[in-house]
């Protein structure tokens, strides 16, 4: 399959996912970072986002109960 063909058949989300996959694969293969480093940073980001969402939901719950 050619690149243009792949762009045409992939959805917007699939194109984004393919871009991330390709970039991370190249960075690991070229030794810019290791798979372990990638996984550690991935977990760090997800953890931060989960805490942020939890704080936001808690703040909304408090606001709702004080109305």
Give pLDDT tens digits for 2-53. 999 999 999 999 999 999 999 999 999 999 999 999 999 999 999 999 999 9
List all residues 6 or more positions away from 43 whose beta carbon is below 8 Å from its beta carbon: none
Q: What's residue 60's pLDDT?
A: 84
- Residue 64 in this model has a pLDDT that exceeds 90: no
Specify whether the CB–CB gap between 26 and 14 falls below 8 A: no
Distance CA 54, CA 62 (A): 12
Distance CA 50, CA 41 (A): 14
Distance CA 34, CA 45 (A): 17
Q: What's residue 4's pLDDT?
A: 96
- Name the more confident of 60 and 35: 35
Predicted model pTM: 0.64
Name the residue ranges covered by the structural domains of the chain.
1-32, 34-67
Specify whether the CB–CB gap between 27 and 34 falls below 8 A: no
């Amino acid at each position: 399959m050619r690149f243009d063909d792949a762009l045409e058949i992939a959805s917007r989300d699939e194109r984004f996912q393919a871009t991330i996959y390709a970039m991370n694969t190249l960075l690991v293969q070229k030794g810019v970072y290791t798979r372990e480093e990638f996984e550690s940073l991935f977990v760090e980001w997800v953890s931060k986002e989960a805490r942020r969402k939890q704080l936001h939901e808690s703040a909304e719950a408090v606001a709702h109960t004080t109305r």
